């Protein structure tokens, strides 16, 4: 910004410093069908088909994959909701959360 000599009247509050983000992580298993994982990612995390397929395949081959990043409460809520939805359909699919470094 140009040096005008005027001070900002509104102090900015560094909210992000107090609210570290948390990752929602998709964990692989041997039972949940690939198509179900993709459908759930699309429905619960609003990711497009192609991205959902990449996330699913990454978890499938590497063991886990980051789906998205949110504040702690939202990440936990979304991970629990998605896990419960899968369990309600009889699949052992698991979403976990962890703080972003």
Residue 27 binding ligand TYC, by CB under 6 A: yes
Name residue, tokens 């699309």: 42
Name residue, tokens 């198509």: 35
Name residue, tokens 């609210």: 19
Residue 66 binding ligand TYC, by CB under 6 A: no
Residue 29 binding ligand TYC, by CB under 6 A: yes
> Least Å distance between CB 58 and ligand TYC?
8
Are 69 and 32 spatial neighbours (Cβ–Cβ below 8 Å)?
A: no
Binding mask 35-64 toward ligand TYC (x if CB under 6 A, else -) reads --x------------------x--xx----
How far is it, in rounded angstroms, from Cα 35 to Cα 97?
23
How far is it, in rounded angstroms, from Cα 64 to Cα 56?
9
Residue 92 binding ligand TYC, by CB under 6 A: no
Instruction: Please report, as ranges, the residues that interact with ligand TYC according to CB under 6 A.
Output: 26-30, 32-34, 37, 56, 59-60, 93
């Amino acid at each position: 910004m140009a040096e005008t000599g005027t001070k900002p009247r509104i102090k900015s509050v560094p909210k992000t410093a107090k609210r570290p983000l948390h990752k929602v992580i998709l964990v692989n298993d041997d039972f949940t069908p690939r198509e179900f994982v993709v459908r759930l990612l699309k429905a619960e995390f609003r990711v497009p088909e192609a991205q959902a397929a990449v996330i699913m395949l990454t978890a499938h081959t590497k063991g886990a994959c980051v789906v998205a990043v949110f504040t702690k409460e939202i990440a936990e809520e979304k991970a629990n909701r998605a896990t419960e939805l899968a369990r309600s359909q009889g699949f052992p699919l698991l979403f976990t959360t962890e703080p972003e470094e």
